[in-house]
Amino acid sequence: MGLALDQTDWRILKELQADGGITNVLLARRVGLSPPACLRRVRGMEEAGLIEGYTALLDEAALGFTLTAFAMVRLHNQAESDLRAFEDIVLGWPLVREAHMLSGESDYILKCVAPDMAAFQDFVLGTLTAAPNVASVKTFVTIRRAKRQPGVPVGM
């Protein structure tokens, strides 16, 4: 990490995680700093890699992506070069929003969003299972999301 965080830094991170679009003036007011001092701290955390970027959380269903599913993928070979090759392919699949390598029975879990079941099925049957080195795929369609809280638990 390379940067020692104090309570004010943690408050800044908590505020930014809750609202990445907050203005520096409002952020400074909320954490009790002057705007220049607040901006210096934020820039320092960005440069240290603690803040990777800023994004908007989109409502998938409102934008027509009504299906969220997870795919558990097992590969034939788990040599590092095979794992990297699979990860490189995954980067080009827009429906896959997150991919995590796992320990245990499956090698990867992919979080996917799709407009509907037909689009997800086309992806699974036409793209995912046909990908090199894929041995098996198990899919799980979500019924509803019970929690959505990106980031880390700041202020534990």
Of 59, 89, 50, the closest CA to residue 73 belongs to 89
Mean pLDDT of 104-111: 97
pLDDT > 90 in the chain, percent: 90
Q: What pLDDT score does 150 carry?
A: 86
Q: What confidence tens digit (pLDDT) does each residue in 78-105 have?
A: 999 999 999 999 999 999 999 999 999 9
For 144, counting Cβ atoms within 10 Å of its Cβ (0-12 exposed, 13-18 middle, 19+ buried), the class is exposed
What's the pLDDT band for 154 if we cut at 50, 70, 90? confident
Exposure string over 82-106, b if 16+ CB within 10 A, otherwise e: ebebbeebbeeeebbeebeeeeeeb
What's the pLDDT band for 1 if we cut at 50, 70, 90? very low
Q: What pLDDT score does 156 carry?
A: 56
Q: Is 140:73 a contact under the CB 8 Å cutoff?
A: no
Mean pLDDT of 53-73: 95
The class (CATH top level) of 7-47 is mainly alpha
Q: Give the CATH fold of the 61-141 domain.
A: Alpha-Beta Plaits (3.30.70)
Q: Is 45:51 a contact under the CB 8 Å cutoff?
A: yes
Residue that has been written with the tokens 């299972």 in this structure: 129
Mean pLDDT of 42-56: 94
Asked if residue 5 has pLDDT above 70, the reply is: yes
Report pTM. Answer: 0.87
Residue 70 phi, psi (nearest 5): -120, 140
Alpha helices in the chain (DSSP H): 7-18, 24-31, 35-47, 80-90, 117-123
Question: Where in the chain are the domains?
Answer: 7-47, 61-141
DSSP-derived secondary structure for 74-86: EES---HHHHHHH
Chain mean pLDDT for the chain: 95
7-47 and 61-141 in the same fold = no
